Structure 1
Amino acid sequence: MKLNLHNTFTKELPSDSNLNNTRRQVHNACFSYVTPKKTSNPELLHVSDELLNTLSISKETSQTKEFLDVVTGNKVLKDTHPYAMCYGGHQFGNWAGQLGDGRAINLTQIRIVDKNWTLQLKGAGETPYSRTADGLAVLRSSIREYLCSEAMFHLGVPTTRALSLSLTGDQVMRDMLYDGNPAYEKGAIVCRVSESFIRFGSFEILSARKDYNTLQALADYSIKHHYPEITSSGKDKYIEFFRLVSEKTLEMIIHWQRVGFVHGVMNTDNMSILGQTIDYGPYGWLEGYDFDWTPNTTDRQQKRYRFGNQPNIGLWNLLQLANALYPLVEEAKPFEDILNQYKIDFDAKHLEMMKSKIGLFEKDARDTLLIKQLEENLHFTETDMTIFFRKLSEFTSIETEIKTLPKCLTEAFYKPNEVKENIKSIWLDWFNTYDQRLLSEKITHQERKRKMDLINPKYVLRNYMAQLAIDDANKGDYSLIDELYQLLKKPYDEQPNKEKWFVKRPEWARHKVGCSMLSCSS
């Protein structure tokens, strides 16, 4: 398999001098060399055809044994040296010290036109950062990561990508809900792809250890290869770097809120410096619109990473990155100014995003209150987020008093019988105000619908959909993986023959494991 190798990360940054694959604290290094664990009977389940094209890998190549061996860790390409990255992080608000790539191994970097891509295997065996774990992954979590990362890309959400999904042929022991009931599951590997897997925690660990030489080297590398638009020098370039990371992080989170995605574990080691969604663990998609919902069983009580708190956590995580970069600048005010700007920008961008979701594109002083009331109304009873906003584009301004609730709303209710008269009255008031506000728009209903349908997806990877694919895969049927993959490539299209997926979560999935709450092993 011929690839245009361009391994800048390992050539330009310091490596761990210890070449033994033993669990340990790694100092004065950004990574450790490590070899993927060989798998016993690998099988390729799915390949992203679009990502193949992006990486200039032919479909014929993807069908070869060499490709299978590379993406399952059984072969190391010539002139490449796989490695695991060293980083730390704050987990659920607490400093956890060294973490690192405990079950991820970077194979190589390749150059395509003017862009570098890193190929990384998730679930390919232990590394010096595995602590007490085995470095492996199971099929259920791998299916979730593979499908979701590609689905997010097609939704227009900044994300890492997934090239392939493979079985290893090995069994892996996991305690899925951390309840003392471990069981063997099918082992699997996802080949992930990104321009970079550098995280906030990559800087935090170096700063915490006062390894300022390596900290500066990593910051300079990140600017050179991932933010070449930065032309300033000295301290100013690190301030500009932080500003751009802050802006990209906010952009990513606004997209999460737009489509109803909840990351579930926004630790600083899961935050990319590129503002990309990374590490698809216990994520979830809103069914009912609920600011307090989190999919992570570990976060069940605190709800730190709940849907409505994601923007605040983004800011908190950026503060930790600012603290890590501070030794390179030694001035607090520039960082404080950028963090304060994040707050200002969030208010403006969130309002703009929510307005676009309901088809308002002209400036109007009434909109802030209209959006606030809408978000409150959506909490009165369980109301399907995806269906409500998608169907709202069918609502037409009739310029007369609305006396019955529109279908776009009632079809999104999970429990219509609990919607009493007082709730109906509040909703009718809102729709009448909304109806009058639409008169201020300068576009036709047809044009408004077209624009809204490009913002509000019809199809997202609802938790129960992924679980159905997992259940089938555990029985040896992998066809639903491809069906969902194809569906989610066009999330904004009507796809009339796929209407079965444009429905509310079925009642059987309300409390089913994998459909409501998930653990970090999911």
Structure 2
Amino acid sequence: MTLKLNIKDKFNKALPADSILENYRRQVERACFSFVTPKIPSHPSLIHVSPEMLHNLGLTKEDSETKAFLNIVTGAKVLPNTKPYAMCYAGHQFGNWAGQLGDGRAINLAEIEHDNKHWALQLKGAGETPYSRSADGLAVLRSSVREYLCSEAMYHLGVPTTRALSLALSGDQVLRDVMYNGNAAYEKGAIVARVAPSFLRFGSYEIFAARQDHKTLKTLVNFTIKNHFPHLGTPSKATYIAFFAEVAQRTLEMIVHWQRVGFVHGVMNTDNMSVLGLTIDFGPYGWLEGFDLGWTPNTTDREHRRYRYGNQPNIGLWNLYQLANALYPLIEATEPLEAILEQYKTDFDIESLKMMRSKLGLQIESPSDKLLLQDLEDLLQLTETDMTIFFRNLSRFKSEKPSEGFAVIEKAFYTLDDLSDSIIEQWNNWFQRYAKRLQDESFSDEERKAAMNAVNPKYVLRNYMAQLAIDDATKGDYGVIEELFNLLKKPYDEQPELEKWFAKRPEWARNKVGCSMLSCSS
């Protein structure tokens, strides 16, 4: 049996390919990709499949239960009349130019059209490519569970993201040093089939600009506009400027969503920035537990905290500067690019304020809002306060009862003993101001509650939750994966039967590897 997919490959037909067909590590010149075949797994088995993504690709539940499906999503077999490939790109990593990077452990299988939507299907962890450098191109169950669950969780939160189709075991053992401290061990190998309209990144353009290969750069930009930004019109200098402006806007919107739900990407290198404004490459990510603008989940970034929660908007801008530099050879003018970057700063302030107003249920703009919100952020950092629980419970605040405000959000504090009389007094004063501010709104308390609960999720994929799923999956029990997958489909719903997941990080997870400490292999 073969899967009935509407294959419509474009990337590997319209763009220049690596002329070398052998699969060995090398610098790939004047090519957007290299043809490569996935490594055949020894004993593949399926763990979980996303019903929504099955449907998006034109497949059924029955299809997912076939050997043909298993073979495709684990790399055991290649789809008929397709030529898998790994993409070539470069990037700035932690602010430093890293040169050629590329798909070191990702292999694109094919592009699929269904219901007038175009999808690229990619395997992560399916073997080495010319871009694997010193690595093996494989992935382990631990990181694969995190990527699979997070991709779909982000989508249902309303955050622009790549998606996941399936999670599978390869049947092979993979050697990994989790914390890069010399304690390597074998782990279960796994493969995630992930899906997006495109996996193009900022680094896809940077590499050709850096090599002064302006011909290939122009070819790739023209391809991108034709296939992913067709509304911008025929390629020209004006179109390239409009293209950059839209990428900047999409990047801004994505990061505002990250800030709204308390998501920290962890590795905002330019090779991890989607040109479509999608959240891509889920490594050492995390959701804020205690509200902390300086928090980063990435151990590699622990010293400088470049990719900390509060700095994500600035890093988005920094990365856009690098993309602007890459596109400059096609535009040959700095003023329009600089204007777009300046507009990003202005727009981010506007959109961020609008987003924070929505989290507090404020619809009418008021000059006092900036100070009200700044004072709230300062209060949230006086003592460890859970971001998700705080904003969710804040919706229950009664504007006519400001004196009861502290009791409404009390469960968000990790240690009540840390709350001095002075801190409690500051909270009470803030609630008095908040209640007065709400008098300017036309919403009833119930209407405000519904509006706030539509933007403040009740459930997010906390690291300890993912770790519980990983621990059980390592033992062959996939029940927690299934439970979390379904829970996170409705993150804004109450789901009282699953209330146990609406809880602060347990103390055992505070300093546990995989919960508080994550590396780039996580």
TM-score interval, smaller chain: over 0.9
Matched position secondary structure for 1:164: strand
1:164 equivalent among 166, 175, 179? 166
Question: Aligned residue for 1:406?
Answer: 406
8 Å contact from structure 1 (residues 126, 135) kept in 2 = yes
2:365 to 363, 366, 373: 363
The partner residue of 1:106 within 93, 105, 108 is: 108
Q: Is the 8 A contact 2:403 2:431 kept in 1?
A: no
Task: Tell me which residue corresponds to 2:12.
Answer: 10
1:56, distance to aligned residue in structure 2 (A): 1.1
1:445 aligns with 2:432: no
Matches within 5 A, 1:77-476: 77-231=79-233, 233-398=235-400, 402-403=402-403, 405-476=405-476
The amino acid across from 1:123 in the alignment is: G
- Provide the C-alpha distance between the structure 2 equivalents of 1:233 and 1:223, rounded to a whole number of angstroms: 7
Task: Determine if contact 1:405/1:424 at 8 Å carries over to the other structure.
Answer: no
Taking a change above 3 Å as real, the CA distance of residues 486 and 267 of structure 1, as seen in their structure-2 partners, is: same
Which residue does the alignment assign to 2:509? Answer: 509
Question: What letter corresponds to residue 473 of structure 1 in structure 2?
Answer: A
SS at match of 1:165: strand
Distance 1:82 1:256 in 2: 32
SS in 2 for 1:29: coil
Instruction: Describe the superposition over 1:422-480 as per-residue Cα deviations: whole angstroms up to 9, x where unpaired.
Output: 11121111110000000110111111111111000000000000000000011111111
Counterpart residue identity of residue 412, structure 2: A
User: What CA deviation, in whole Å up to 9, does each residue of 1:486-518 have, x standing for no partner?
Assistant: 000000000010000001111111001100010
| Distance in 2 between residues matched to 1:115 and 1:493, nearest whole Å | 28
SS at match of 2:277: coil
- TM-score under structure 1 normalisation? 0.99
Partners of 1:443 and 1:230 in 2: CA distance: 40
Render the CA deviation track for 1:260-282: whole Å, top value 9, x for unaligned.
Answer: 00000000000000000000000
Code of the aligned partner of 1:408: V
CA distance in 1, matches of 2:41, 2:403: 64
Letter in 2 for 1:241: F
Partner amino acid, structure 1, of 2:39 = K
Supply the distance in 1 between the matched residues of 2:12 and 2:75 (Cα, whole angstroms): 19
Determine the C-alpha separation between the residues in 1 that align with 2:234 and 2:84. Answer: 33
Deviation at 1:364, TM superposition (A): 0.9
How far residue 113 of structure 1 moved from its aligned partner, in angstroms, is: 2.8
What do the CA deviations read for 1:359-396 (whole angstroms, capped 9, x no partner)? 10111111111111111110000000000000010001
Partners of 2:91 and 2:206 within 8 A in 1: yes
2-side partners of 1:113 and 1:333: how far apart?
41
- The reply to whether residue 19 of structure 1 matches residue 17 of structure 2 is no
Partner secondary structure for residue 406 of structure 1: helix
CA distance in 2 between counterparts of 1:231 and 1:134 reads: 42
Counterpart position of 1:65: 67
| Aligned amino acid, residue 372 of structure 1 | Q
* Equivalent residues, number: 520
1:406 deviates by 2.2
**Distance in 2 between the 1:353 and 1:404 partners?**
25
CA–CA distance in 2 between the matches of 1:254 and 1:65?
42
Identity of aligned residues (%): 65
- 1:511–1:202 CA distance, 2 compared to 1 (3 A): same
Name the CA distance, whole Å, in 2 between partners of 1:310 and 1:443: 32
CA distance in 2, matches of 1:484, 1:440: 39
| Letter of the structure 1 residue corresponding to residue 51 of structure 2 | D
Asked whether the equivalents of residues 395 and 406 of structure 1 are also in contact (C-alpha less than 8 Å), the reply is no
- What letter is aligned with 2:81? D
Letter in 2 for 1:458: K
Check conservation: 2:406, 2:427, Cα contact below 8 A: no
8 Å CA contact 2:300, 2:519 repeated in 1: yes
> Structure 1 residue 232: deviation in Å?
5.6
Cα distance in 1, alignment partners of residues 59 and 235 from structure 2: 38
SS state at 2:232 partner = coil
In 2: Cα distance, 1:171 partner to 1:348 partner: 49
CA distance in 2, matches of 1:471, 1:491: 23
Structure 2 residue identity aligned to 1:205: I
RMSD after superposition? 0.8
**For residues 137-190 of structure 1, what are the alpha-carbon distances to aligned partners after superposition, in whole Å with 9 as ceiling and x for unaligned?**
000000000000000000000000000000000000000000000000000000
Q: Provide runs of 4+ in structure 1 moved above 6 Å.
A: none
Q: Counterparts of 1:360 and 1:312 in 2: how far apart (Å)?
A: 26
2:54 is equivalent to residue 52 of structure 1: yes
Does structure 1 residue 43 correspond to structure 2 residue 45? yes
Counterpart CA distance in 1 for 2:419 and 2:112 is: 56
Residues 232 and 69 (structure 1), Cα distance of their counterparts in 2 relative to 1, 3 Å cut: closer
What do the CA deviations read for 1:288-314 (whole angstroms, capped 9, x no partner)? Answer: 000000000000101000000000000
TM-superposition CA deviations, 1:302-351 (whole Å, max 9, x none): 10000000000000000000000000000001000000000000000000
Which amino acid in the other structure matches residue 419 of structure 1?
Answer: L
DSSP-derived class of the 2:190 partner: strand
Deviation at 1:407, TM superposition (A): 2.3
Superposed displacement of residue 54, structure 1 = 1.2
Counterpart amino acid of residue 143 in structure 2: S
1:225-248 Cα deviation digits (max 9, x unpaired):
111110264200100000000000
Counterpart-to-counterpart distance in 2, 1:395 and 1:225? 48
CA distance, structure 1, for counterparts of residue 174 and residue 180 of structure 2: 15
Aligned position for 1:494: 494
The residue matched to 1:236 in structure 2 has which SS?
helix
Tell me if structure 1 keeps the 8 A contact 2:222–2:235.
Answer: no
With normalisation by structure 2, the TM-score equals 0.99
2:120 & 2:408 partners in 1: Cα distance? 43
For 2:407 and 2:518, how far apart are their aligned partners in 1? 32
* Contiguous gaps of at least 5 residues in structure 2: none
The CA distance in 1 between the partners of 2:339 and 2:115, in whole Å, is 36
Query: What is the CA–CA distance in structure 1 between the aligned matches of 2:197 and 2:32, rounded to whole Å?
Result: 17
